[in-house]
Amino acid sequence: MRDVQRQTRSWLMELFTRHGFNPRGDLGQNFLIDVNLIEFAVRHASLGPNDVALEVGSGTGGMTAFLAEEAGHVISVDVDQNMSMLAAEAVEGYPNVTLLNQDILKNKNTLAPEICDLIRAHVAALPNGQLKLVANLPYSVATPVIANLIASDLPWERMVCTIQWELGEKMAAEHGTSGYSALSVWIQSQASIRILRKLGPNVFWPRPKVDSAIVSIWRDKDAAARINDRKFFLDFLRRAFSQRRKLIRPVLIGMYRKELDKADVDCLLAELEHRTEDRAEQMDIATLIRLSNRVHAAIVERNRT
């Protein structure tokens, strides 16, 4: 059974001293020292024997052991060899845990293909298998891990993660607010998100300089079906929101100058009844999806002629 003393500040300090190394700030290594919060996150993931739990940032294995007792299988990934060694000690005796000492990302826009293949294999091995990301995510990879998991074809159902508070607010930002961004649209176009709890620096060791949040993201397959081409939509959002305050007509003309001419852009904007003063930051999610779908269709039509 799991040892609740494993994640206290004093226990962790003694552990690191004994092994002769320190937490790495460059990798965003801040460990939850409140076991109640680890249990809180795992409980909200609603793990069961049909679930593969993906953990990014194994750390010392404190959360990994909790996941192993609830999930059918756990795949825990950490780029730091020292952390993988500590996690291996923590989950010794759990046959349903796979520890990987590598980067979860191939690059900032892509998850590591070999890890994706491993996840698919373990999900397929479970009856009605599904994937859930449950992790105290290192700040440095939180955005690409969540965004790329949504972009992937992996059968994920839910994410319960500890992330930077400011990032959580940005992900959950509603249309018409200052935090509304390509990231909030990308997530909310295919999922629902809720901030479950705000965490102060004192529940971590070493203490970060900012607040954190536990967020819950659950998949909405019906919402995602509205998007004709998700890869195109993600690129559309990133480019459109990089010029979010500019009028949408010149932005689109510049974005797709190689694929469409000005008359094509004017035609599709008129068809969708967009005003000349419209800007990306003013458009709600449904409007952005319709515009992206129409632009994509126009490009496909143009390529056929």
The CATH fold of domain 230-304 = Helicase, Ruva Protein; domain 3 (1.10.8)
pLDDT of residue 3: 54
Measuring CA to CA, which residue among 294, 280, 298, 297 is closest to residue 185? Answer: 280
- In sequence order, which residues have a C-beta less than 8 Å from that of residue 36 and are 6 or more positions away? none
Sign of CA dihedral 100, 106, 107, 111: negative
* Residue 59 to residue 262: CA distance in whole angstroms: 52
- In sequence order, which residues have a C-beta less than 8 Å from that of residue 95 and are 6 or more positions away? none
Tell me yes or no: is domain 4-224 CATH 3.40.50.150.
yes
Phi, psi of 242 (to 5 degrees): -70, -15
Q: What is the pTM of this model?
A: 0.94
Q: List b or e across 168-198, with b for residues whose CB sees 16 or more CB atoms inside 10 angstroms.
A: bbbbbbebeeeebbbbbbbbbbbbebeebbe
109 neighbors 186 (Cβ within 8 angstroms): no
* Residue 227 to residue 231: CA distance in whole angstroms: 10
And the tokens for 258?
A: 């190689």
* Residue 243 to residue 250: CA distance in whole angstroms: 10
Report the 3 state secondary structure along the chain.
CCCHHHHCHHHHHHHHHHHCCCCCHHHCCCEECCHHHHHHHHHHHCCCCCEEEEEECCCCCHHHHHHHHHCCEEEEECCCHHHHHHHHHHCCCCCCEEEECCCCEEECCEECHHHHHHHHHHHHHCCCCEEEEEEECCHHHHHHHHHHHHHCCCCEEEEEEEEEHHHHHHHHCCCCCCCCCHHHHHHHCCEEEEEEEEECHHHEECCCCCCEEEEEEEECHHHHCCCCCHHHHHHHHHHHHCCCCCEHHHHHHHHCCCCCCHHHHHHHHHHCCCCCCCEHHHCCHHHHHHHHHHHHHHHHHHHHC
pLDDT of residue 275: 85
* Residue 137 to residue 168: CA distance in whole angstroms: 12
Q: What is the mean pLDDT of each run of 10 residues along the chain (305 residues)?
A: 66 93 91 94 98 97 95 98 95 96 96 98 97 96 98 97 98 95 98 98 96 98 96 97 94 96 96 90 96 97 85
pLDDT of residue 6: 64
- Per-domain residue ranges for the chain? 4-224, 230-304
User: Is 230-304 the same fold as 4-224?
Assistant: no
